[in-house]
Structure 1
Amino acid sequence: MKTGFKLHLFLGILAALFLNLLIYVTASQPPLLLLAASLTFVLGSILPDIDAPFSFIRRAFSGLLFLSLLLALLAVIFIYYPYLSALLVQYVSLGTIAHIALLILLALFISAGAVLFMNIIMPFHRGVIHGFIASFLYAASLAFLAYLFSLPLYQGLFIAVAGMLGYQLHIIVDIFGSILPGRR
């Protein structure tokens, strides 16, 4: 059976809704915590396909990486322009507009290079990223983010476990998809 983005997204949303209902009935939790846990669960259910060459999540992540790096570099250029301009004058005797254009071009090349590097080093599809160890790393990164945002420990762990379960759902669906008959 062929598993794809739509199936993983559908099952991720369905499972997140089911878990929210189960948690609501058994242990009342704040709505924002449930929303954050649901989002990390659904993201986890589609995230392992970031290693698939033409997957939606990989294209979206590449675009997000490019845009965020470009904006960060442009902010650095804007903040430190007087220093960068003085440095450029020592090596390149161009006008102010040319210095700005050169810095923007450099920011574009660095951002594009980072995306290209990410796509080159990405492991093959259903490799190390499609494993249970990767789900634990995803959970650990979520717990670390929760810590950075000063969430209480149980809330951070709740969000991290939800994300890990979503990630593992993806892996389990892929395992069943590879052994069940159906179109490939």
Structure 2
Amino acid sequence: MGQSAGQAAQEAVSLARVRRRDGIALIQAHRASVALHHPWTYPFTDVPGFEAWYAQTLDGSNIALLARERSSGALAGLFTFSQVVGGCFQSAYLGYHAMAGCEGRGLMTHALRLCVAYAFAELGLHRVEANIQPDNTRSLALAQRAGFRREGYSPRYLRIGGVWRDHERWARLADD
């Protein structure tokens, strides 16, 4: 019995926590992906930017996962859980972006599903929330494919590229 396209794509992706040694590869991938990222996100593209971002992942309240295409080792995407809170809240915000050359092949869909499974099983979270700009149709579709549900709309929610931007609020619950 053959694999479905979905199973093949999922097995084609690996996830790992970001390490300092990933910095140069991430910087290069971000530089190559500027046209894909802007105006939705403006990730670091230099060593000081990486170091500042990476420092935020060391205290446990922000956790970054790197998705790689297994066959080539190419960076497929970056996922960041921020404001990870335990206790009675057990929730985090999730930000993500694809890397140029890996978009449109199902890799991000399966990487996002793996990230959400990690959040629930390994981090013990109950809720993962993603806030997405309404015109970012690819990111909205990705969230839907990964089982997120739209919960609301937040005007002028995040300042991105120097502009306060509206966002749709999407979430997944552990028992969804």
Query: Shared fold by TM > 0.5?
Result: no
The structure, 1 or 2, with the larger RCO (C-alpha pairs under 8 Å, 6+ apart) is 1
Q: TM-score, normalised by structure 1?
A: 0.31
Name whichever structure is richer in strand by fraction. 2
Higher helix content, 1 or 2: 1
Which entry has the higher C-alpha Rg, 1 or 2? 1
